Amino acid sequence: MLTRIAAVLTVLLATYVYRSGNIVKHHILTLPDLPAAYFAGGNYTEHCTLITDPDPVANTITACEDIAFWDHLDTEGALARRLVLLGCDPNRKAWNTVMGPLRDPEPRAFLWLFDTDSQALQPVLLEDYPAKHDFHPLGLEAEPSRAGEPSALFVVNHARERTTIEQFVLDPAKLGVATYVRTLSSPKFVSPNALALTSSTSFYVSNDHLMTRRLPSPLGNILPLLESVGGLPLGWIAHVSLAPDGTFTHRVVARGIPFPNGVQLSPDGRTVAVASTTLAQVLFYDRDPATDNLTFSHGVRVPLLPDNLYYMEDGTLVVTGHPHFPSLVKVAANATGAIAPSWAVVLRPISDTTRVASEKDFAQRAYDLRAPLSASAIVPASLTHEVETLFQSDGSVFGTACTTLVDSRTATMYMSGLYAEGMLVCRP
């Protein structure tokens, strides 16, 4: 019964949102005409490979919501080795505190490491992790290791009782081991989603909902849906600073954001990008490095519901998400034969000197013309960023994409999916 009520509410809210212009209609009402797959670096059948669990029975490299580079720097600060850290939860369709359901939190999720040079793949042991503590990773980020020194790893953990943030240490001398340090827990962690480190002991964290699936039934089934699809500006970004004794401060630095999802700090440390999933926008904030305070600058519309973000070294932002929300809901509900499309775009800043004088004329221009389905068919051009498709699929080749990394050295793309099997690697 509640499922039917939620479905009706979705349709009603979708109609409201479409009419009010809060969200691009493609994401709610129209299934986009995407190809089986398109990769900007070449034919996907020749350039893309799916990395899966060596044990096909275990199949633990599944539903990897977030992936992140763990870089090893030499004594001069140059990149010497790059690994991909994957947080994978094969049980996501039974335990998802963002989309639901909340049926079974018992099986723990997994961390994996993938070496981008040797292609070696290995599981990560959670050393000293409390035996009765759940592990359901969402956002994660690892500090680079400098000259062989250990580095910090923080992971958002959607455990059964409450969402926490887990602190680990990664040591290049002990590859395949994440040593548990502590669990950060607070009533202020209402619905943490993604992390962006500002130091080895501080980070920004997005809070995607005020009303969550953890609320008693039927509120937990209805109110988060109202907040999500209605585009209610109830989310926020906080900055957390950790003291040596494990105590920490939590300070809200950006409020009033509809469904803030991925969050990323620019390479120069002066901009924070936030994925507002409901708005189908990336919001940019100016950052004061001395105080970590944020000031809203502008937003950029994208042809998808943005999930996670990744900043490349040159300031290019990679945005990954879901072009059709109803398809994603069907996959999450385990509907027979359901697939959900994927789309990743790159946002490159446009210099002030190259921007056109007429905002109206600029917004109407065609762009992203190499892609089978151009982003310009869905959203107008941005005054501040060039938007170009990196990857898109109707879901038959790779669906539910939520995170994309790009190695600037090789232009290799690494993509994970919210409910997808394996990690897609595409080389130009």
Buried b (16+ CB within 10 A) or exposed e, 322-332: bbbbbbbbbbb
Copy the structure tokens of residue 191. 């619905």
Is 105 part of a structural domain of the chain? yes
Is 1 part of a structural domain of the chain? no
Q: Which residues contact 147 (CB under 8 A, 6 or more apart)?
A: 73, 74, 75
* Angle 168-151-316 from CA coordinates, rounded to 5°: 105
379 within 8 A of 303, measured Cβ to Cβ: yes
Domain count across the chain: 1
Report the half-sphere exposure of 17 (CA within 13 A, side-chain side). Answer: 26
- Specify the pTM: 0.93
Is 64 part of a structural domain of the chain? yes
Which CATH number covers residue 271?
A: 2.120.10.30
Copy the structure tokens of residue 36. 């089986």
pLDDT in tens, 294-341: 999 999 999 999 999 999 999 999 999 999 999 999 999 999 999 999
pLDDT above 90 for 9: no
Is 163 part of a structural domain of the chain? yes
Query: Which burial class, exposed, middle or buried, applies to 426 when counting CB atoms under 10 A from its CB (0-12, 13-18, 19+)?
Result: buried
pLDDT more than 70, % of the chain: 90
| 365 confidence band (pLDDT: 50, 70, 90) | confident
Copy the structure tokens of residue 127. 């050393």
- Beta partners for 155? 140, 166
Is 150 part of a structural domain of the chain? yes
Is 12 part of a structural domain of the chain? no
- Please, what is the average pLDDT of the chain? 92
| pLDDT of 21 | 47
Is 132 part of a structural domain of the chain? yes
pLDDT above 90 for 8: no
Domain containing 387 equals 31-426
| pLDDT of 230 | 86
Is 22 part of a structural domain of the chain? no
Measured in whole angstroms, the distance separating CA 381 from the mean position of its chain's CA atoms is 23
